[in-house]
A = this chain, B = another copy of it.
Amino acid sequence: MGTMPWHVYLSGEIHSDWRARIANAVMEEDLDVELSAPVTNHEASDDCGVAILGDEDKPFWKDHVGAGLNAIRTRTLIEQSDVVVVRFGEQYRQWNAAFDAGYAAALGKPLITLHPEQHDHALKEVDRAALAVAREPEQVVDVLRYVLNGTLPRR
C-alpha cells in the first residue's frame, strides 16, 4: 500500500558517525526516507552568525546571532519532519538536543531517542516523551524499516 516518503530529522550529537551509519543503511536498503539534520560542521555552526551578519565583541552575542541562523534551519526541518531522532552522546551537555526533543514533543512529532544506558536516569523525562529508546544507530534503522515496511530485522 502506498505512503508518502517520510521525513526524519536527526538531532543531537555531532562528534560521532551515527548519522552516517543511519544514512548508509537507509540508502543501502532503499528505505523511502528523507533524512535531514542540523549543520554538523562544528566550526561553521559556531561561526555562522558573525561570518554572515557581522562581528560581535562579546561571545554571548556571537553565540546569539549564530544560534539564530541555526534555529532557522532546525525549526524548519523539525516542522517538516514526520519523525525526530535525538542522539545524546557520551560527552557534552547537549542541551540543544534536549531542547529539540521538547520542541518536537510539543508539536506531537513521534520521537526516538538514541543514547547509551549510562544516561538513562538523567534522560528519563526525555525518554518518557519518546516512542522508542535505542542504543545503537542500527536500531534506529531497524525502527524506520519496521514502521515503513512492517519488516523485522533478520537477526
Binding site for B on A (CB under 8 A): 1-4, 6-7, 19, 23, 34-37, 39-41, 44-45, 47-48, 51-54, 57-61, 63-77, 79-80, 82-83, 88, 92-108, 110, 112, 117, 119-135, 139, 142-143, 146-148, 150-153, 155
A101 nearest in chain B by CB position: B99
Nearest CB of chain B from residue A110's CB, rounded to whole Å: 4
Q: How far is the CA of A37 from the CA of B147 in the complex (A)?
A: 11
With A48-B146, A53-B132 known as contacts, the answer to whether A59 contacts B120 (CB < 8 A) is yes
Q: How many copies of this protein are present in the complex?
A: 8
Selected from B1, B93, B112, the residue in CB contact (under 8 A) with A35 is B1
Nearest CB of chain B from residue A27's CB, rounded to whole Å: 10
With A68-B131, A99-B99, A99-B126 known as contacts, the answer to whether A77 contacts B146 (CB < 8 A) is no
Q: How far is the CA of A95 from the CA of B97 in the complex (A)?
A: 9
CB distance B112 to A72 under 8 Å? Answer: yes
Q: Show 14 residue pairs from A and B whose CB-CB distance is below 8 angstroms, ordered by the A residue.
A: A3-B34, A39-B150, A52-B132, A53-B143, A60-B133, A69-B146, A69-B147, A71-B128, A95-B95, A96-B98, A96-B124, A98-B98, A99-B101, A102-B105
Q: How far is the CA of A4 from the CA of B93 in the complex (A)?
A: 31
A151 nearest in chain B by CB position: B44
